[in-house]
């Protein structure tokens, strides 16, 4: 039987407007609570966006944020892993002059910030106007990213043309080797992470904390920053809209996020229409 469920958000639990079905998710959480199965949201996003999307449900789930760099257990911060300051400076200096072109965002414990003049047209296409407005409102725009010292950085994110993603990932790997872990997260976005800090390591931390058997994990994802989590889970689902890497890593396929695949699979399990016993 299942002992934990973990899901990505963008392109997975959230629909094409970047929203969740609050009523349906609340019913699922009610049933999971009755069975003692914790529900984990594992995302590259920060707390502000997840709080906006989830509303009151945010304190009923455990949030793995910034791809594993920060964990909140039903509203309480229990773990965070920030970058060494010297590595932050080295990467930002390397990317200096391309911040606007790459739509570079620095995610820190105090929130996200970007260089003044940076725009995010892709996010505006993927989000409702309300969500896009909220994103810009909570983003801090600064004159010079390199000189924003002491921010306790959790991750960096860039957005480029989809066809250029693999080239940029390779560029970072050649420059920084194993000191960085760049991972495509869908729609041309790339998360730049610390090695050893990802969704899977965060979930393993939770498994140990809760006494969960790692062989009883269900997980859902759609992109390369979900790979470790999908490989970790015994019952792993790539969304129908997932990229080829995620599909290869997963054991099963769920209906697309547009067709509410995460809800469908979990409800089928709760109703007894599928079984993992």
219 is written with which tokens? 């997980």
Domain that residue 171 falls in: 85-193
Domain edge (last residue) among 164, 193, 222: 193
Q: Are residues 177 and 202 in the same domain?
A: no
How many of the other CB atoms lie within 10 Å of CB of 128?
12
C-alpha angle 151/192/17, rounded to 5°?
95
pLDDT tens for each residue of 166-217: 899 999 999 999 999 998 887 788 999 988 999 999 999 999 999 999 899 9
Domain edge (last residue) among 152, 176, 193: 193
Domain holding 181: CATH number? 3.30.1240.10
**Dihedral of the CA atoms 245, 5, 51, 160 (nearest 10)?**
0
Q: Are residues 35 and 134 in the same domain?
A: no
Q: Are residues 89 and 189 in the same domain?
A: yes
Domain edge (last residue) among 193, 226, 248: 193
Looking at the structure of the chain, the number of domains it has is 2
Q: Is 118 helix (H, G, I), strand (E, B) or coil?
A: coil
State residue 150's pLDDT score: 67
Domain holding 23: CATH number? 3.40.50.1000
pLDDT at 234 over 70: yes
Mean pLDDT is lowest, of 48-57, 105-114, 245-254, 263-272, for 105-114
Q: Are residues 11 and 30 in the same domain?
A: yes
Q: Are residues 178 and 264 in the same domain?
A: no
How many of the other CB atoms lie within 10 Å of CB of 253?
14
- Listed residue (117, 215, 206, 102) closest to 161, CA to CA: 102
Enter the pTM of the model: 0.86
Task: Compute the mean pLDDT over every residue in the chain, rounded to the nearest whole number.
Answer: 92
pLDDT band at residue 219, thresholds of 50, 70 and 90?
A: very high
State residue 187's pLDDT score: 75
Contact assessment for residue 269 and residue 35, using Cβ atoms and an 8 Å cutoff? no
């Amino acid at each position: 039987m299942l002992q934990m469920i973990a899901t990505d958000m963008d392109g997975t639990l959230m629909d094409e407007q970047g929203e969740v079905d609050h009523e349906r998710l609340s019913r699922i959480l009610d049933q999971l609570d009755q069975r003692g199965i914790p529900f984990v949201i594992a995302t590259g996003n920060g707390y502000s966006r997840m709080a906006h999307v989830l509303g009151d449900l945010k304190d009923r789930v455990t949030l793995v944020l910034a791809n594993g760099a920060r964990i909140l257990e039903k509203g309480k911060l229990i773990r965070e892993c920030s970058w060494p300051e010297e590595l932050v400076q080295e990467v930002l200096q390397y990317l200096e002059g391309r911040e606007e072109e790459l739509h570079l965002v620095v995610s820190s414990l105090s929130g996200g910030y970007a260089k003044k003049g940076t725009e995010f047209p892709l996010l505006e296409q993927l989000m409702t106007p309300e969500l896009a407005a909220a994103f810009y409102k909570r983003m801090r725009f600064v004159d010079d990213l390199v000189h924003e010292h002491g921010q306790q950085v959790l991750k960096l994110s860039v957005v480029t043309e989809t066809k250029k993603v693999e080239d940029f990932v390779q560029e970072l790997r050649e420059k920084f080797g194993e000191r960085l872990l760049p991972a495509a997260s869908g729609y041309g976005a790339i998360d730049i992470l610390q090695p050893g800090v990802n969704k899977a390591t965060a979930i393993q931390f939770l498994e140990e904390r809760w006494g969960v058997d790692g062989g009883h994990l269900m997980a859902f994802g759609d992109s390369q920053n979900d790979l470790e989590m999908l490989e970790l889970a015994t019952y792993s689902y790539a969304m129908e809209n997932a990229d080829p890497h995620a599909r290869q890593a997963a054991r099963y396929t769920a209906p697309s996020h547009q067709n509410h695949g995460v809800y469908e699979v979990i409800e089928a399990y709760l109703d007894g229409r599928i079984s993992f016993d």
